[in-house]
Structure 1
Amino acid sequence: MPIPARFSRCALFCIAALLAARTEFAQAQANETVTERSPTPSQTFRTDRPQPPQGIEPSDGVGVFDRMGAKLPDLPPEKPYTGAIDEAFGAYQRGYYLTAMDRALPRAQLGDPAAQTLIAEILSQGLGVKRDMKNAAFWYGKAAEGGDPTAMFKYALLLMEGNNVTRDKAKADEYMRKAADGGNSSAEFNWGQTLVADNPGDKGLKLALPYYEKAAEQGIADAQYAVAQIYQQVPDLPEDKKQLAREWMARAARAGFDTAQLDMGIWLINGVGGPKDYVRGFEWMKLAANRGNVAAQNKLAHLYVNAIGTAPDPVEAAKWYVLSRRAGLSDPSLEDFYLGIEDDQQKAAIEAANKFRRIN
């Protein structure tokens, strides 16, 4: 049963670390290339975070209230469920959480995995009721036993963490794999991460690739980034896949993944996966820098210093260097540049950096 969700950002450090050992970007050349790989990403897992519909939240556990606090009428009594329309889930989508709970509970008690998952979602998020992870875990477990992909994914996370259930990695892996095979996009990505972690080198990447590809097709930016890196850097893959590496990186970048935006800038400037395009590379780098990516801020300073994709601008270069230096990223060459500009330019750069921090 699909559950409305937004996904938390997670990096792919395990993949980049494996690939970085084999791949070297072009050496820095004035007015031509940008070096330094993006920060090597970590083995982390994605978790669904359901986004409640707007105009909801009962304040006293009775009835349903709109955003201004006015009580809304309850839905009319449910017609007998025929399978054509899931009125419990419809009530959930509209923000009638207590109604959704009431209508799902009888079906859940009769063993309906979709209804069990819906109850678990309401309890785990405290939607219209007090948050109750213990009972949520119980219903996720029942729904997982019944084969619901969303529940199997959520229950696998609980089993990995030992959260209100006994920690059991083997069982967690089993449910994560089943959820992935059942088409849950987050499970597909996470099972790919598990395969990479448990199988060092290219073997793990190749085992994980089909799952990353499925998750990427469903719009998971982290998976799109993983697919791009694997297509570009793992040998013995079909040429038609290698030719799609930059396209997948662009899709992850357009989804707002700042690490992908950084790497997209590097790929365009260095000519990785296609022709060089300094202007577009600069644009992607600046976008990632404005989103707070420290490595992108450092590289953007180099672009301004060397007039790559943009006109030279010592104040902007110094501003981005100051921001990345404050975040702990040292760079001797940029420090030399900064100390070599005029005092008034240094002052202007510091003021610009301070303004950026206030706004962001």
Structure 2
Amino acid sequence: MIVLHPAARPLAVVAGVLMLGGSALAQLQLTPTDAPPKASRSVRTKTIKPPPPKEAAKPAKPAPAADAKADAPAPDNPNVDLVYGAYQRGLYKTAFDLAMKRAQDNKDPAAMTMLGVLYANSMGIKRDYGKAIEWYQRAADLGDREAMFALAMLRISGRGSPPDKEAAVKLLASSAKLGEPKAAYNLALLYMDGQTLPQDFKRAAELLRFAADAGNPEAQYALATFYKEGTGVEKNLYKSVRLLQAASLAGNVDAEVEYAIALFNGTGTEKNEAAAVSLLRKAARQNSAIAQNRLAHVLVFGMGAPVDKVEGLKWHIVAKTAGKGDLQLDEALAQATPEERAKAQDAARKWLGIK
């Protein structure tokens, strides 16, 4: 039976803090790897769009506009959020002015949170973490869960003030209690890490479940790994694969790889090699070295897809530049004809942007 090796071995947690301008989103990375889990932890960074403040009613996202007044909805409609509308269109100075007026005149916590986002991320105003913290704090004091979450992340990162993890934990707990999935997810991270809070995988699983049920793809992927390994929950491959599917549909690349491998092998789900190969292609194009390696095997050896040695060897070369070597594929590359090898190398250089 042809089998693709799973992307992840027993639970490996790489904990880090992801920074976006002035916002810091603590991010759990259950990194797919064929190496045994390491005791040390590292920081990985990626860009995440800053969370806009929640509002009762938000307009659909229109096209960018140069003239705020010409495109702004009629101000006499009480159900239209002018601040958020300007923010969506990238009119950050307009959003800042409108939010400042609402914050000062109406003591509106959502407007205060928006000011925190704009100050923290240098949108329409010069970046000022101190003022971001001030506005987040004012909104948090009025019960805004988004502000609590954003303020917690700044407290953890130490931007705008000295790091204060104890205060951050309290803010995350309060935000999670008010139903903020990102706060629950990051609180779970701290329980998993075992440094700021006592390590408690059962409590982490409870928090991940809440965030996963709310649609957070990172939490869905993390909880899937919990169910796969029986960490903090009873081992259940069916639940693990269902969560991988949900996270994959939401665009989590690691989940795409894991779900593709489960589909290919028929592990915890019905076997579907065609769907698996399609997902591997998608993840490979998103620069997942694991997906590139598995796709190379599929194409070079005709595993669930027609043989395409040049394309497969291209992905092998690309994956190898990212540290994902493979002796079996090295041998296939060495045995390829000079023409096949040259075409694969040219295709790999093109993908990597090497002239």
User: Structures share a fold, TM > 0.5?
Assistant: yes
TM-score, reference length from structure 1: 0.75
Instruction: After superposing the two structures, state which structure 1 stretch, 264-273 or 333-342, moved more.
Output: 264-273
1:156, distance to aligned residue in structure 2 (A): 0.7
Q: How does 1:45-56 map to 2 (within 5 A)?
A: 45=17, 47=25, 49-50=49-50
Partner of 1:208: 204
Other structure's SS at 1:244 match: helix
Task: Assess if the C-alpha contact under 8 Å between 1:107 and 1:115 holds in 2.
Answer: no
Deviations 1:152-176 (A, max 9, x none): 1111111111111221111111111
Q: Does 1:127 align with 2:123?
A: yes
Task: Assess if the C-alpha contact under 8 Å between 2:6 and 2:258 holds in 1.
Answer: no
Deviations 1:243-299 (A, max 9, x none): 332121012112222111111122122332223322222222222112111111111
Partner of 1:100: 98
1:177 alignment partner AA? A
1:316, distance to aligned residue in structure 2 (A): 2.1
Residue number among 222, 237, 244 corresponding to 2:218 in the alignment: 222
1:71–1:118 distance in 2 versus 1, CA, 3 Å: closer
Partner of 2:301: 306
2:49 alignment partner AA? R
Q: Does 1:258 align with 2:253?
A: yes
Task: Assess if the C-alpha contact under 8 Å between 1:261 and 1:285 holds in 2.
Answer: yes
2:293 alignment partner AA? N
1:107, distance to aligned residue in structure 2 (A): 4.4
Give distance in 2, aligned partners of 1:74 and 1:284: 40
Q: How does 1:1-360 map to 2 (within 5 A)?
A: 32-35=2-5, 37-38=7-8, 42-45=14-17, 47=25, 49-50=49-50, 66-67=65-66, 70=67, 72=69, 95=91, 96-107=94-105, 112-198=108-194, 204-234=200-230, 237=233, 242-358=237-353
Give distance in 2, aligned partners of 1:35 and 1:229: 15
Higher Rg of the two aligned structures: 1
Task: Assess if the C-alpha contact under 8 Å between 1:38 and 1:259 holds in 2.
Answer: no
1:217, distance to aligned residue in structure 2 (A): 2.5
Give distance in 2, aligned partners of 1:246 and 1:78: 48
Task: Assess if the C-alpha contact under 8 Å between 1:104 and 1:118 holds in 2.
Answer: no
1:71–1:154 distance in 2 versus 1, CA, 3 Å: closer
TM-score, reference length from structure 2: 0.76
1:151 alignment partner AA? A
Task: Assess if the C-alpha contact under 8 Å between 2:73 and 2:80 holds in 1.
Answer: no
Using the aligned pairs only, state the percent identity. 27
Task: Assess if the C-alpha contact under 8 Å between 2:152 and 2:169 holds in 1.
Answer: yes
Deviations 1:295-318 (A, max 9, x none): 111111112233211122222221
Task: Assess if the C-alpha contact under 8 Å between 1:91 and 1:99 holds in 2.
Answer: no
Give distance in 2, aligned partners of 1:236 and 1:74: 51
Give distance in 2, aligned partners of 1:75 and 1:270: 53
1:342–1:291 distance in 2 versus 1, CA, 3 Å: same
Task: Assess if the C-alpha contact under 8 Å between 2:146 and 2:180 holds in 1.
Answer: yes
1:91–1:297 distance in 2 versus 1, CA, 3 Å: closer
- Measured on the aligned residues, the alpha-carbon RMSD in Å equals 3.3
1:171–1:236 distance in 2 versus 1, CA, 3 Å: closer
1:74–1:126 distance in 2 versus 1, CA, 3 Å: farther
Give distance in 1, aligned partners of 2:293 and 2:241: 23
Deviations 1:81-139 (A, max 9, x none): 9x97766556655643144234223247x5x5334223222322333333322211111
Task: Assess if the C-alpha contact under 8 Å between 1:32 and 1:269 holds in 2.
Answer: no
Other structure's SS at 1:44 match: strand
1:45, distance to aligned residue in structure 2 (A): 4.4
1:205–1:150 distance in 2 versus 1, CA, 3 Å: same
Give distance in 2, aligned partners of 1:74 and 1:253: 36
1:243–1:330 distance in 2 versus 1, CA, 3 Å: closer
Alignment: residue pair count: 311
1:41–1:317 distance in 2 versus 1, CA, 3 Å: farther
Give distance in 1, aligned partners of 2:237 and 2:320: 36
1:76–1:324 distance in 2 versus 1, CA, 3 Å: closer
Give distance in 2, aligned partners of 1:136 and 1:148: 14
Partner of 1:61: none
Other structure's SS at 2:138 match: helix
Give distance in 1, aligned partners of 2:128 and 2:195: 37
1:77–1:180 distance in 2 versus 1, CA, 3 Å: same
